[in-house]
Each structure stands twice: as C-alpha cells, then as structure tokens.
Chain A
Amino acid sequence: MSEDAIHLLAREHALASWAAVAGLLATAWMMAARPHRRELVLAVSASTAVALAISGALGSMLEGAYRARLRQPLFTRAPKLGWLFERKEHLAFGAIALGFCGLSSLLVAALVASRARRAAKEREALEALAEELARAGRLGWVVSALLGVAAAVASALVAREARL
C-alpha cells in the first residue's frame, strides 16, 4: 500500500470511528430518553452499526501498516502509549461485537413487540420477552458506547505521539 493510501485510510478510519462514537452515544441516549420510540431507536441503531462496521473494516486494513511501521517505534519511544493502543484494539473489537449484539437484540424486540400487539392472547408473555430483549440490547449499546469512547480517546492520545 502506498504512503498516500495509508494516510488517507488513517484519516478515514479516524472520521468513521468518531462518527461511530457519536452514533453510539446518540443510540444510548435515545434508549434512555425515548425507549417507547422503538422504530426510531432501531433506525438509529442500524445507522450506528453501519458506521461501526466501516470503522472496523478500515481499522483492519490499517493493521498491517501499523504492525510493520508504527508498533516497534511506538513501543521504543513510549511503551505506555504502545500498550494503550493494544488496549484500544481490544476495546474496539468489543465495541463492534456488542454494538451488533445490541442491534440484533433490538430487532428481535421490535419484531416480538409487533407480534405482541397483534396477538392479544399471548400479549403478556411476549411483552416480557420484548422487554427482556430490549434490556439486553440497551446494555449492549451502553457498553459498546463506553468501549468505543475509550478506544477513540486512546487512539487520539496515541495519534498525538505517532501516526501513519
């Protein structure tokens, strides 16, 4: 990969990551402030999941260049920042995985809630199931937001010292 391509990818990855963090925080806020707006929350969650996927894909493309050019000099100059970046990778994987977990849970909750509205007889059981799934979804997104923010802040701190 050329130098220009790597610089471009690094910038795009940073943009996509911060967009994903904004989406994560928006999703977490919406679930706390507007929990009854299931369809809107699901739409925001889906957009955030796309941003997370793009950020993760760009990060994966940059991993080789980081390993070849930046890792050893970073650990030599500033080992604490090197380990911070290692932590960032772990937190970012968790943010993406739990973000998609949250999206899938909310999708099931929306489908089940929609079915509960139609089936009056099974209403109580299905609403409990929908609430349980929505709780799982909310937890997944909140955790994903926290991990995403931590990863993004860690990246920004490392980028002050070294960048591709």
Chain B
Amino acid sequence: MRKLEQVALGLAGGSATAALAYAFLRVAERALLPEANPAILIGVERSAFAFRALSALYFGGFGAFGFAALALARPLVAARLLRAAVGLAAVALVAQAALAP
C-alpha cells in the first residue's frame, strides 16, 4: 500500500474510532459521573460536550495509527475492519443517543 493510501485509511479508521469512543465516553460519563438535573443547574463553566469530543478525537488518534499500521501489513483486513468499525460506531451512537443521551 502506498503512503498516501495508508494515511487516508488511517484517517478513515481514526474517524470511525472517534465516533465509537464518543459513544462509550458518554455512557461512562452517565454511569460514573452523573450530573445534576439540567433543569435546576443554572450554568456550568466547563463544556462537557467539548471535553467529550476532544477525548473522542484523542482516542481516534490511537485508532488512526492502528489502522495505518494494519493497512501496511494487511490492507484487505484493515478495509474489512474499517467497515465493521463503521457499523459498530453507528449502532453504538444510536443506542447511546436513545438510552443514555
């Protein structure tokens, strides 16, 4: 696999990993760090959404390097794993949005 192809596949894998990580992070946040009822919370300095999004992108970075490395060794396996990651991320996000918004 050529360098540009490897980088692009890494970016694709990283994006899917970030989406998956976001869902898990939100579920973990709801389970371990429950926030007060938003109806009585006047204002919050820290943006939980921004923190969660940046954390998801950070974990996406791990996924990007992993997919790029796998693309070099086994490109077809990396492509199949990418499709599985996209499907898993879709299911996880929809389930998380429905059950743990």
List of A residues within 8 angstroms of B83 by Cβ: 132, 135-136, 139
A108, B12: Cβ atoms closer than 8 Å: yes
Residues from 21 to 79 in B contacting A, C-beta threshold 8 Å: 22-23, 26, 37-44, 47, 49-50, 53, 56, 60, 75-76, 79
**A89: B residues at CB distance < 8 A:** 49
A97/B15 in contact, CB under 8 A: yes
Q: How far is the CB of A102 from chain B (nearest CB, A)?
A: 8
Q: Which residues of B sit under 8 angstroms from A83, Cβ to Cβ?
A: 101
Query: In this complex, what residue of A is CB-closest to B19?
Result: A97
- Point out the residues of chain A lying under 8 angstroms from B38, CB to CB: 71-72, 75, 82
User: What's the minimum C-beta distance from A21 to chain B, rounded to whole angstroms?
Assistant: 17
With known contacts A94-B22, A98-B89, A108–B9 Cβ distance under 8 A: yes
Is A93 on the interface with B (CB-CB < 8 A)?
yes
Which of A64, A72, A133, A147 gathers the greatest number of chain B CB atoms within 10 Å? A133
Smallest Cβ-Cβ distance to B37: which chain A residue: A75
Report the contact-size class of chain A (Cβ under 8 Å from the partner). Answer: 35 or more
A71-B86 Cα distance, complex, nearest whole Å: 31
Q: Are B39 and A94 in contact (CB under 8 A)?
A: no
**Provided the pairs A98-B15, A98-B19, A108-B5 are in contact, do residues A136 and B93 lie with their beta carbons within 8 angstroms?**
no
A112 in the interface (beta carbon within 8 A): yes
Q: What chain A residues lie within 8 Å of B44 (beta carbons)?
A: 67
The 5 nearest A-B residue pairs measured at CB: A104-B12, A101-B15, A132-B79, A97-B19, A75-B39
Q: A residues bordering B, Cβ < 8 Å?
A: 60, 63-64, 67-68, 71-72, 75-76, 79, 82-83, 86-87, 89-91, 93-94, 97-98, 100-102, 104-105, 107-108, 111-112, 115, 125, 128-129, 132-133, 135-137, 139-140, 143, 147
A-B contact pairs, 5 of them (CB 8 A): A87-B98, A89-B49, A102-B12, A111-B8, A140-B15
